[in-house]
Amino acid sequence: MLESTVAQYQREGRTVYRLGLGQPDFPTPDRAKAAAIQAIQDNFTGYTDTSGILPLREAICRALLRDIGLSYEPGEIVVTVGGKHALFNAICTLCRPGDEVLIPVPYWVSFPEQVKFAGAKPVFVQTGAASGYKVTPGTLAPLVNESTRLLILNQPNNPSGAVYSAEELSKLAEFCRERDLWVISDEVYSAFVFKPEGYTSIASFPGMRERTVVINAVSKSYGMTGWRIGYSAAPAAVTGAMLRLQSHTTSNPSSIAQQAALAAIDGPQDDLTEIRNEYAARRGVLVEGVRRIKGLECSVPDGAFYVWVDASAWRGQTLEGRIISTADDLADILLTKAGVAVMPGTGFGSPYHIRLSYAVSRDEMESGIKAMESLLGRK
């Protein structure tokens, strides 16, 4: 509904500041574009192995060793039609009907829906600003029973930007080992961590590689959301089961997009550092702007490219003649009265939050904040 309204406004020539975007604003690397063009010219347009071309799976193995310090074999990698597809494969492979899946709140919108599709039950683990929107063994333990199958851990988190420290992950890893839980580690924003110590994967702790499915994609890291290439890394037995599932759904991802992803992953990574530094600077501008606005609170995110804004102070208040019951109402008023598109938190399990993105130009971001401040008022 939000996107259709934004599109309508743009067709009408109205100015819309799109602060709800969930994709990077930098282009696909030239090396990836060139590889795709070359693939077409070479007529590399047929089927490939269902698991993806071997050179790409080998490149993914090198990237995993480089980025999270774990060694995988090409036979433990499945290349998928985007990260969402890899997640779908993992959930449908690991979950049995009646299983329960622990999902920290806030969560990416597809987690609970895919769990339900697999016949399992989502069990939501509440977090808050005081915990940095992160779970602990203490918050997980009361929710675990004989039906609990796995934990979905998304970090850096969409929408909160939360990133776990090595110490926090070590405790979670010990808990999962003791309770015999699988982990699906959604790491699609792992290239954008602003903490000096960088990113740590839960799969890197003792005893966790064999009970973790790592999910990643080229979408966010390389500005390739439309190319639809993701991947999973998991123990061979689980990978084989996911591969059988994929063989009866999509088969292989696009052969052309696979060549583009290979060039992106295997090429120089200097551009990622530049982009990460730019996002870190934008993050500061957006957080400072939000903290000036009446009724809005936020913490500084450690990763991804979102700011998770607590708008609960507006609950029950009247704005522009409307009573605000949830963030959906606030988001609608911001769009219709101020021309600012934000993402309401309802779909993320938090009906009194909104998600703002700094994956937009500084000019658009600053103009959008000014429009919000003009409507909502200054503290």
Pairing mode of beta strands 100-104, 148-154: parallel
CATH architecture of 2-22+271-376: Alpha-Beta Complex (3.90)
With 90 as the cut, is the pLDDT of residue 230 above it? Answer: yes
- In the predicted model, what is the mean pLDDT of the chain? 97
Name every residue whose Cβ is closer than 8 Å to that of residue 192 and which is 6 or more positions away in sequence.
Answer: 156, 220, 221, 275, 276, 279, 303, 304, 305
Spans of all domains in the chain: 2-22+271-376, 31-266
Rounded CA-CA distance 116/100 in Å is: 10
Q: Report pLDDT digits (tens) over 180-207.
A: 999 999 999 999 999 999 999 999 999 9
Bridge partners (DSSP) of residue 297 are 310
* 362-367: long-range contacts, CB 8 A cutoff, minimum separation 24: 362/282, 362/285, 364/17, 364/18, 364/19, 365/17, 365/19, 365/282, 365/285, 365/286, 365/289, 366/285, 366/289, 367/17
CB 228 within 8 A of CB 27: no
Per CATH, domain 31-266 is 3.60.10.10: no
Predicted TM-score (pTM) of the model is 0.97
Position 7 scores a pLDDT of 85
C-alpha to C-alpha distances, 60 to 23, 135, 226, 237, nearest whole angstrom: 22, 29, 19, 19
Q: Bin 304: left if φ > 0, else alpha if -120 < ψ < 50, else beta.
A: left
> Across residues 66-71, what is the average pLDDT?
98
Position 1 scores a pLDDT of 64
Question: Can 2-22+271-376 and 31-266 be said to share one CATH topology?
Answer: no
Res. 277 pLDDT band, cuts 50 70 90: very high
Rounded CA-CA distance 193/220 in Å is: 13
